[in-house]
């Protein structure tokens, strides 16, 4: 096995999440995503809505359809796009299964989705492709671009439309390129352990019934045994040259490099085609005109533009450490501490977790009972904490029975999972969590039961093979569900082996995490529990150093109160990359998308447009807080209002895809609460 090495803005506007935004997603999507394999605890998803327009300047014809059958698309060594979904282009890129060791000649098929730029590639305002990764590991870039590519594009594009910037070559408009990393989603082959979806669902229900680690005197022993049963079964069922042995982040970073190269080749050919179509003269000569030299493909020199969230920051920093001369723009948001991640101890993640929990008590108390139903007039944050602690203690001994057409109980574990989910997106989640907690306090579990019900049932397979390649609204179910083992394969494989851990040692470990974060420490410990039972090792992993003098500076972004990727991680990672800078956002939640800040979005746009970075020490203030009035958004100017809504819509899509560091493993039992 080889081992390679600002300024403050106006007063923040409080916003809230109203009930008509709180729609339950497709039953079971996140239920199966990772808890079904291991010992995960979970959460799920809800929807917000929105759309964006695109200037029709591309020469490539696209169709409008919400469905696309990936099985009809052949894999090629170059990017050969076909129309897909609504105004997008899709391709399958054939890449080596083994980049380094030469153990096999087999290939993978990387699924790629492109939202075309608002200008053609021959326009001097064409900025190239911005690759996006939503996190995980296990997140689908294809899905994010399909659902919210326009909103992501609006955050990096020049503020004015192309029709308003004619002749301004400094205004840049980008493609947005999403891909499903190897082993994930529509990419093939998938990382699998169970033979069918129904088996996966049944196992998930068994896992859920055990609760979180500290939910009973017996839960730890049972979850330990279940994790080891799954881990041993996955190892025993390995196929020849199984993708789980070739799925490390290092391999994914190498895939990204080839994707950037292949886009450069595609750009060259597309530009020549467009120039021929726009001229009556002979075909374009080998060399481009002087003003279009930048479009010519330069093998071995193409550079990446990338925006990675959460685990996507680790993928991005790995790319930067492995290929430092190939960076044009690298924005890494909600930063993972790479050396700590590789150690697999999972302790430094929880440094700021309780800050987010405390922000719930503080903002709820400040908002008052009219906006936060869990409080009352004159209640202090400490009173709310005591009330929640009492509620949890009561449910630990006596779960709340809920009568109805389908009986249900609301347990200690359900509330813990609800809290964990809410910490990722406080703007959207805190108001809803407050309503649910208020109901439970009064002995009414009806609303919570409705939230749980889709995740406490099993759906029949769509076909005898459990395989459906058609991607349709709202999620492409089987294609994504078949890769639920991507998270342990990647995360456990990236890090040092943990299989020598004993049950006694783990018992001491989870209690250590619980002392760091009483709110979620027990839940977070289940990541290492999974890895203690995961014996499958990658043939290649990158272990650093995470240091480099990159060809362009990296922009690191972090919140002052992030539940699992503390700002300290961004500060630490920045020290290893010469010229990079950390942009801090003074808000709770996971990634800068957790709360809109005009200051933050301005710096991010500026970075993609010009490459310039914020001054060191810049801290941006948020422009929205929980427990406010959504109508307050109407007081903003049109540009800011559009950006606020774009943020919310991107958050919604990320939530549906299990957004959040390690969330695809931990969150699949209780629906998301945006």
The answer to whether 10 and 202 have CB atoms below 8 angstroms apart is no
pLDDT at residue 209 above 90?
A: no
Please tell me which residue, 339 or 57, carries the higher pLDDT value.
Answer: 339
pLDDT at residue 595 above 60?
A: yes
| Residue 433 vs residues 16, 180, 213, 648: alpha-carbon distances, Å | 12, 32, 22, 17
Q: Which of 31-45, 62-76, 175-189, 550-564 has the lowest mean pLDDT?
A: 31-45
Q: What pLDDT, on a 0 to 100 scale, did the predictor assign at position 44?
A: 29
pLDDT at residue 436 above 70?
A: yes
- Count other C-beta atoms under 10 Å from residue 535's C-beta: 17
Within 13 Å, how many C-alpha atoms sit on residue 7's CB side? Answer: 2
The answer to whether 519 and 547 have CB atoms below 8 angstroms apart is no
Q: What pLDDT, on a 0 to 100 scale, did the predictor assign at position 284?
A: 54
Task: Please list, in sequence order, all residues whose beta carbon lies within 8 angstroms of the beta carbon of residue 352, skipping any fewer than 6 positions away.
Answer: 560, 561, 562, 563, 566, 567, 568
Give the span between the Cα atoms of 459 and 520, in whole angstroms. 30
pTM assigned to the model: 0.87
Express each pLDDT in 479-502 by its tens digit. Answer: 455 557 788 999 999 999 999 999
Q: What pLDDT, on a 0 to 100 scale, did the predictor assign at position 405?
A: 84
Give the span between the Cα atoms of 450 and 406, in whole angstroms. 10
Q: What pLDDT, on a 0 to 100 scale, did the predictor assign at position 155?
A: 95
The answer to whether 250 and 540 have CB atoms below 8 angstroms apart is yes
User: Average of pLDDT values for 300-309?
Assistant: 98
Give the span between the Cα atoms of 273 and 285, in whole angstroms. 12
- CA 601 vs. chain centroid, Å, equals 18
The answer to whether 134 and 654 have CB atoms below 8 angstroms apart is yes
User: Average of pLDDT values for 638-667?
Assistant: 70
Q: What pLDDT, on a 0 to 100 scale, did the predictor assign at position 492?
A: 96
Q: Percent of the chain at pLDDT above 90?
A: 67
Give the span between the Cα atoms of 278 and 588, in whole angstroms. 51
Please tell me which residue, 55 or 120, carries the higher pLDDT value.
Answer: 120
User: Average of pLDDT values for 561-576?
Assistant: 98
- Tell me the pLDDT of the chain averaged across its residues: 84
- Count other C-beta atoms under 10 Å from residue 571's C-beta: 15
Alpha helix ranges (H) inside 110-248: 141-156, 197-209, 219-236
User: Average of pLDDT values for 243-250?
Assistant: 96
Give the span between the Cα atoms of 339 and 545, in whole angstroms. 9
Express each pLDDT in 180-193 by its tens digit. Answer: 999 999 999 999 88
pLDDT at residue 18 above 80?
A: no
Minimal CA–CA distance to 32: which of 510, 487, 432, 433? 487
pLDDT at residue 655 above 80?
A: no
Give the span between the Cα atoms of 187 and 180, in whole angstroms. 6
Q: What pLDDT, on a 0 to 100 scale, did the predictor assign at position 11?
A: 35
pLDDT at residue 296 above 70?
A: yes
Give the phi and the psi of residue 226 in degrees, each rounded to 5. -65, -40
Q: What pLDDT, on a 0 to 100 scale, did the predictor assign at position 661?
A: 53
**268 exposed, middle or buried (CB, 10 Å; 0-12, 13-18, 19+)?**
middle
pLDDT at residue 458 above 80?
A: no
Q: Contacts for 103-109 with beta carbons within 8 Å, 24 or more apart?
A: 103/241, 103/539, 104/241, 106/241, 107/75, 108/182, 108/183, 108/187, 108/188, 108/189, 108/243, 108/246, 108/255, 109/75, 109/187, 109/188
- Count other C-beta atoms under 10 Å from residue 525's C-beta: 27
pLDDT at residue 214 above 90?
A: yes
User: Average of pLDDT values for 423-442?
Assistant: 95
Tokens representing 255 are 């895939």
User: Average of pLDDT values for 56-82?
Assistant: 71
368 pLDDT band (50/70/90 cuts)?
A: very high
Q: What pLDDT, on a 0 to 100 scale, did the predictor assign at position 3?
A: 36
Q: What pLDDT, on a 0 to 100 scale, did the predictor assign at position 29?
A: 27
Give the span between the Cα atoms of 371 and 377, in whole angstroms. 11
């Amino acid at each position: 096995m080889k081992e390679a090495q600002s300024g403050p803005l106006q007063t923040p506007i409080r916003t809230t999440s109203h009930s008509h935004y709180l729609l339950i997603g497709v039953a079971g999507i996140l239920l199966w995503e990772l808890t079904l394999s291991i010992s995960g605890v979970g959460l799920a998803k809800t929807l917000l809505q929105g759309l964006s327009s695109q200037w029709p300047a591309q020469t490539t014809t696209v169709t409008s359809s919400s469905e696309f059958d990936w099985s009809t698309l052949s894999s090629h060594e170059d990017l050969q796009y076909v129309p897909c979904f609504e105004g997008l282009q899709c391709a399958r890129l054939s890449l080596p299964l083994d980049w380094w060791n030469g153990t096999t000649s087999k290939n993978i098929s990387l699924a790629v989705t492109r939202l075309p730029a608002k200008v053609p590639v021959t326009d001097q305002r064409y900025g190239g492709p911005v690759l996006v990764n939503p996190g995980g590991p296990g997140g689908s870039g294809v899905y994010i671009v399909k659902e919210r590519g326009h909103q992501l594009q609006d955050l990096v594009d020049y503020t004015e439309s192309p029709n308003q910037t004619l002749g301004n070559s400094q205004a840049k408009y980008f493609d947005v390129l999403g891909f499903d990393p190897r082993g994930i989603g529509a990419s093939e082959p998938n990382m699998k352990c169970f033979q069918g979806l129904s088996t996966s669902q049944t196992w998930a229900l068994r896992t859920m019934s055990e609760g979180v680690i500290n939910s009973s005197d017996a839960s730890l022993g049972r979850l330990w045994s279940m994790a080891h049963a799954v881990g041993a079964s996955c190892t025993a069922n390995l196929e020849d040259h199984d993708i789980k042995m070739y799925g490390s982040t290092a391999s994914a970073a190498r895939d990204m490099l080839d994707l950037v190269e292949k886009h450069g080749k595609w750009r060259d050919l597309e530009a020549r085609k467009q120039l021929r179509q726009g001229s009556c003269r002979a075909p374009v000569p080998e060399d481009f005109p002087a003003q279009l030299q930048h479009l010519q493909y330069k093998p071995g020199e193409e550079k990446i533009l990338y925006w990675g969230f959460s685990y996507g920051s680790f993928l991005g920093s790995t790319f930067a450490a492995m290929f430092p001369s190939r960076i044009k723009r690298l924005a890494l948001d909600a930063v993972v501490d790479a050396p700590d991640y590789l150690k697999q101890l999972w302790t430094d993640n929880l440094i700021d977790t309780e800050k987010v929990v405390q922000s719930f008590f503080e903002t709820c108390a400040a908002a008052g009972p009219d906006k936060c139903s869990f409080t009352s007039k004159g209640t202090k944050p400490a009173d709310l904490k005591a009330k929640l602690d009492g509620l949890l203690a009561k449910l630990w001994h006596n779960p709340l029975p809920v009568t109805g057409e389908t009986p249900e109980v609301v347990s200690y574990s359900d509330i813990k999972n609800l809290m964990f989910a809410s910490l990722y997106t406080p703007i959207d989640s805190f108001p809803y969590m407050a309503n649910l907690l208020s109901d439970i306090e009064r002995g009414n579990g009806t609303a919570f039961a409705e939230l749980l019900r889709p995740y406490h049932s099993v759906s029949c397979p769509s076909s005898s093979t459990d395989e459906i390649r058609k991607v349709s609204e709202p999620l492409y179910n089987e294609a994504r569900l078949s890769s639920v083992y991507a998270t342990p394969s990647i995360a456990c494989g990236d890090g040092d082996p943990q299989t020598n851990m004993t049950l006694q040692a783990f018992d001491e470990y989870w209690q250590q995490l619980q002392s760091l974060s009483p709110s979620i420490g027990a839940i977070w410990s289940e990541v290492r529990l999974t890895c203690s039972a995961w014996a499958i090792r990658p043939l290649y992993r990158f272990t650093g150093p995470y240091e480099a003098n990159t060809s362009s500076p990296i922009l690191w972004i972090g919140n002052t109160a992030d539940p699992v990727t503390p700002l300290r991680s961004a500060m630490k990672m920045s020290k290893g990359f010469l010229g990079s800078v950390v942009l801090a956002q003074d808000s709770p939640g996971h990634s800068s998308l957790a709360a809109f800040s005009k200051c933050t979005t301005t710096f991010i746009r500026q970075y993609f447009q010009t490459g310039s970075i914020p001054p060191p020490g810049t801290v941006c203030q948020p422009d929205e807080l929980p427990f406010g009035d959504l109508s307050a958004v109407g007081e903003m100017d049109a540009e800011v209002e559009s950006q606020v809504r774009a943020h919310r819509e991107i958050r919604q899509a990320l939530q549906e895809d299990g957004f959040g560091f390690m969330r695809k493993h931990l969150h699949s039992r209780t629906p998301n609460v945006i």
